[in-house]
Structure 1
Amino acid sequence: MYLSWLDRWDEERARRGEDGKETTSFILDADRVFPSEEIGSIREFCARAEEVSTDPTFFEEQDRGDQQFEASEHWVKFPSDISTDVAENNIVWAKITKSGSLDKALVIFHHWNARTRNAQIAGFLSRRGITVVEIAMPYHFERSRRGSLHADYMLSANLGRTIQAVKQAVCDGRRLIRWLKGEGYREISVLGMSLGSWAAGLIAAHDANVSKASLFLTGGSLADMVWTGRATRSIRSSLEPEIELADLRRAWSPLDLENHVHRLARPDLDLQVVLAKRDTVVLPELSESLLLGLKNAGCRPQTLKLNCGHYSLGKLPYILYAGLSLKRFLS
């Protein structure tokens, strides 16, 4: 009875999340990812994307130094390495909840279309000696596009802009982590939630400054998540007349965490995965495929599987289980 109610609650929450989401035009927009290259077809885009999916330098941030950081007691902001046609998106904002110690810092990457930051998590962890830094991902919070009802420029049927946005999230996060290291923090961890778990996972795979990574509600293939997920039906409707799933997997292969499992399996990285067994946004089989890939790469992440849905992970008692598991992992 309770689980049936929980499923209905998740579905109602998903329906509310569809407000403002509309089908849009399918666009390659290859210049955003491969500037100065002549790419005019899906086939050429996919071939080039598969090449960069094995390039370890694709997600490297530029070393501009720390003088461009503006920090106060509770905020830090700095220019993004990637410049877009949305001025607000080109300045990165992060909220800091300090612990009073330079021992540990946690950078949080929120879910797609987040409306508020995670004040409860930040307060809970900061009181336990972990400084929490909540970064705004591209086109969210202070970086939102004027007039937009949701973060449609972060994830959409525009193939190039989606890659650019996720790459921007990764490069922004890596630059913030380097700044935190310069500020004296000894151990830096990342936490990613849903879409944020792709950014956090890619950062952990490529940045040796990250010692722990916790991925909530994650999967391997972003293409499959968009194609099958409850929250991305409008994007699939925009994609489906123009591209098949097999080609979408190739086009977004740089963002597929399964292509980076050997990097995530590095011996100096501790990994945690928290999943929802009744998830209709990131289907359980996508999460299990990632876990299998990690296992085959020699990684044994701490794994917590809760019998709830994507959105109901935020309800009691599931959020309590997840929060305590995260605390133990970070400690």
Structure 2
Amino acid sequence: MLDLWDERRAARGDAAKRPMRPAIDVDLPFPDAAPSSDLDALCERAEAAADDPAFFTPAPIAAEEVWWQDGWISIPSPLPSDVETNNTVHASVVEGEGRGHALIVFHHWNARERSSRLARYFAGKGVTVVQIAMPFHMERRRPGAENVDDILSANLGRTLRSMRQAVLDGRALVGILRDVGFERVSVLGMSLGSWVAGLVAAHDERVGCAGLFLSAGSLADMVWTGRATRHVRASLDGVVELAQLRRAWAPLDLTRHAPKLARCGLTLQFVLARRDTVVLPNLSEQLVGAVRQAGEDPRVRWLDCGHYSLSLPPYILGAGRSMAAALATA
């Protein structure tokens, strides 16, 4: 019955997901490159960027550009796009106790609203909860868009650029929270948001705890095998091979950043689903194994549910308790 519930939940989003013509667009993630549809050129630039810390390092946000009022933070995105509504980062804030600990939450793909229950749960434990809108979601949505194709699609360059924007937005928010006096800043990401949270934690030593829910290492492999991304795979079939997709999205592969996720001072909490058809369990196991091989034994909670049914009790309660325990030790 649980598997059937997950499948019905997944099917609800299928109507807005349509195959599209694959595109490379090297100049989107690498503006200094000439406009090109050369896949090899994108792969070469992406593999170099995966080892370049500057790729995920944002320019500073000036204090006068930060708007914080009535439970909201707004800042200009460090990496503006061609969609005006997407160029301002919006985050809701539910205050905990003082300036002790802040938790930045990165939602799942195609999220349409923030979770008030999540905010109340962690705020009740004294943690200030900051729920960011990732690129092209919620207030940042492209006008008229049914599905958030701008952040994950068969346009390889746009996906890489949008995910980079998400990481830069997140790191800018980490800096703002530290600047106003928060002693500790942690991150929590769910599904696609876990890739963003993982990359923020890997590249920003100011992050003390990272919760990665429904996560894996290779975004390319997740797209290639996952239930929610069949339309992307269908678009790429016969045009782009999996090995090429891995190279094109190399900076987004958390296994490549496993040594940084294993750094001293970072508490890492995984919450994973044994019956997940979106992020297959073997892909999650590969990321956990890579972190262990890098020298750290992360906290791992496996739940006997699917990708979408993680949101149901008792699974969501177990996930919340695991993250709360990790935050307490960070």
Partner of 2:182: 185
* Counterpart AA for 2:188: L
Distance in 1 (CA, whole Å) between partners of 2:325 and 2:45 is: 42
Q: TM-score, normalised by structure 1?
A: 0.97
Partner of 2:41: 44
Distance in 2 (CA, whole Å) between partners of 1:64 and 1:70 is: 11
Shift of 1:245: 0.4
Distance in 2 (CA, whole Å) between partners of 1:175 and 1:196 is: 16
Partner of 1:260: 257
Shift of 1:64: 3.1
Matched, 1:19 2:20: no
Question: Of the candidates 301, 308, 320, which is equivalent to residue 317 of structure 2?
Answer: 320
- Local SS of the residue matching 1:278: coil
* Counterpart AA for 1:196: G
Partner of 2:82: 85
Does the aligned pair in 1 maintain the 2:194–2:214 contact within 8 Å?
A: yes
* Counterpart AA for 1:180: L
Matched, 1:282 2:279: yes
Distance in 1 (CA, whole Å) between partners of 2:238 and 2:63 is: 46
Where does 1:1-331 land on structure 2 (aligned, <5 Å)? 5-38=1-34, 39-331=36-328
Does the aligned pair in 1 maintain the 2:220–2:249 contact within 8 Å?
A: yes
Shift of 1:47: 1.5
Distance in 2 (CA, whole Å) between partners of 1:260 and 1:100 is: 33
- Local SS of the residue matching 2:55: coil
Distance in 1 (CA, whole Å) between partners of 2:86 and 2:322 is: 33
Distance in 2 (CA, whole Å) between partners of 1:79 and 1:313 is: 33
| Structure 2 alignment gaps of length 5 or more | none
Distance in 2 (CA, whole Å) between partners of 1:50 and 1:78 is: 30
Distance in 2 (CA, whole Å) between partners of 1:190 and 1:48 is: 28
Aligned length: 327
Percent identity of equivalent pairs: 50
Shift of 1:36: 2.5
Does the aligned pair in 1 maintain the 2:91–2:132 contact within 8 Å?
A: yes
Distance in 2 (CA, whole Å) between partners of 1:303 and 1:309 is: 16
Distance in 2 (CA, whole Å) between partners of 1:238 and 1:287 is: 24
* Counterpart AA for 1:239: L
Shift of 1:9: 0.5
Shift of 1:118: 1.2
Distance in 2 (CA, whole Å) between partners of 1:57 and 1:262 is: 17
Distance in 2 (CA, whole Å) between partners of 1:174 and 1:210 is: 9
Deviations 1:75-127 (A, max 9, x none): 01011011111100000000000013110000000000012211101001111
* Counterpart AA for 2:252: L
Shift of 1:40: 4.0
* Counterpart AA for 1:182: D
